[in-house]
């Protein structure tokens, strides 16, 4: 066993998996590389939910060369019958002699049973090669498969003084072309995108993915407690991707029927006055939506933080100062905390630049934000502010 070689081939498997990010729905992204006598003889990635897994693609490519090879797999081979057959059984039948795995599958249907099956068949198994990288690649799947709730990424763009628009409402464009291009990549990688009706009323966005190489457009979700969205809104008319409207029992029934006639799915989340975001995430999980990108104004973005629903933050800052005081909307608008020690901190921080803009990516830690630290409570916000 050569640890350096194991990591080299596993990195290739991770690259294969990452290239399919956004294509597999609630399924994980997985890459597999087969190596024999120092040569790569097979490669594969899981490309679409319900289709062949990465191991099967790699074994098919390798053919007879699979016998006696080492398989590098980013996620534990499955051992159960789902939409496809067990990959662990296929590895055994093809004569693979060793399997190197980056991460154990958190799916309760697998959870180590795939590795156990390989070992009982005499296959050497090595675990824990580049585990952190593999788990980061499947962070959305890892949450959804255990909780049945979507992984929530909140994306914001603001000036250096924390403003998302000028006092007069103008917000185009805060960040440059490179940053906006990366946002479209984020849309491609998430199953759904969510904003508030205030953003729709102000900007009439399409919320689609626009990349030089065409990407997948996410399901478009609007938090709209009273169903104020215009019937001629672009996202209702373009048919580019499905539309879900999160509303409340207070919304007019006539309006609901009009929107459903346009093809929108209307989901009631609470009695009002605002959409119950916790209930909404439960409903989205039931629809097998495993990842949601939040692109919203400060009230809705703040509500996801206040109610500890955000799993990841992607914060863009442009080298601009706009001022405007309270008249200019801020990045996060929620009641907040009484003491600095209660502030939400970001862990595992990563800092990148996109042109002149800086992007901070991190994972919020809510441990210090005690219940007594929040002044007031609201189920959610829908405005652009």
Catalytic residue among 55, 94, 268, 385: 55
What DSSP element (H or E) covers 35?
A: strand 31-36
Provide the 10 A C-beta neighbour count for residue 39: 9
Handedness of CA 182, 188, 191, 195 (dihedral sign): positive
Is residue 355 classed as helix, strand or coil in its secondary structure? coil
Whose CA is closest to 309, among 278, 269, 273, 276? 278
Backbone torsions φ then ψ of 5, nearest 5 degrees: -65, -40
Give strand pairing partners of 275.
none
Question: Would you state the torsion angle of the CA atoms of residues 125, 10, 19, 151, taken in this order, to the nearest 10 degrees?
Answer: 60
Q: How many CB atoms lie within 10 A of CB 220?
A: 25
Q: Taking a C-beta distance cutoff of 8 angstroms, is the pair 42, 61 a contact?
A: yes
Residues 6+ apart with CB under 8 A from 326: none
Closest by Cα among 287, 325, 312, 299 to 362: 312
Told to judge if 55 belongs to the known catalytic residues of this protein, a careful annotator would answer yes
- The count of other CB atoms within 10 Å of the CB of residue 85 is 14
C-alpha–C-alpha distance, residues 354 and 174, integer Å = 13
Name the packing angle between helices 54-62 and 3-19 (round to 10°). Answer: 110
Distance of CA 337 to the CA centre of its chain: 28
Q: Are 264 and 243 in contact (CB under 8 A)?
A: yes
Mind telling me the catalytic residues? 55
């Amino acid at each position: 066993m050569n640890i350096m070689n194991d990591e080299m081939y596993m990195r290739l498997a991770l690259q294969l998996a990452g290239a399919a990010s956004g294509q597999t729905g609630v399924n994980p992204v997985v890459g597999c590389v087969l190596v024999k006598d120092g040569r790569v003889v097979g490669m594969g990635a899981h490309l679409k939910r319900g289709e062949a897994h990465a191991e099967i693609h790699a074994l098919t490519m390798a053919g007879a060369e699979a016998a006696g090879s080492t398989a590098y797999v980013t996620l534990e081979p499955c051992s159960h019958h789902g939409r496809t057959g067990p990959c662990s059984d296929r590895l055994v039948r093809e004569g693979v002699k060793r399997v190197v795995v980056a991460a154990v599958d958190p799916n309760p249907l697998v959870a180590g049973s795939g590795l156990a099956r390989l070992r009982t068949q005499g296959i050497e198994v090595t675990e824990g090669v580049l585990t952190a990288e593999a788990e980061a690649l499947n962070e959305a799947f890892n949450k959804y498969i255990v909780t049945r709730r979507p992984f929530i990424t909140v994306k914001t763009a603001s000036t250096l003084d924390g403003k998302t628009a000028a006092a007069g409402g103008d917000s185009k464009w805060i960040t440059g072309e490179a940053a906006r291009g990366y946002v479209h990549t984020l849309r491609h990688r998430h199953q759904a995108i969510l904003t508030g009706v205030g953003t729709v009323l102000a900007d009439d966005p399409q919320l689609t993915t626009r990349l030089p190489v065409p990407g997948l457009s996410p399901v478009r979700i609007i938090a709209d407690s009273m169903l104020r969205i215009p019937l001629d809104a672009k996202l209702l008319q373009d048919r580019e991707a499905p539309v879900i409207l999160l509303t409340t029992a207070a919304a007019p029934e006539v309006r609901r029927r009009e929107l459903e006639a346009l093809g929108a799915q209307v989901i009631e989340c609470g009695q009002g006055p605002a959409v119950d975001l916790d209930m909404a995430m439960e409903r989205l999980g039931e629809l097998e939506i495993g990842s949601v990108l939040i692109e919203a104004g400060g009230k809705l973005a703040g509500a996801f933080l206040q109610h500890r629903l955000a799993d990841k933050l992607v914060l863009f800052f442009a080298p601009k100062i706009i001022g405007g005081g309270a008249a200019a909307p801020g990045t996060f608008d929620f009641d907040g905390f009484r003491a600095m020690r209660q502030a939400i901190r970001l862990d595992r921080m990563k800092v990148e630049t996109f042109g002149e803009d800086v992007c901070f990516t991190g994972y919020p830690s809510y441990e210090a934000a005690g219940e007594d630290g929040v002044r007031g409570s609201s189920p959610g916000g829908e405005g652009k502010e």
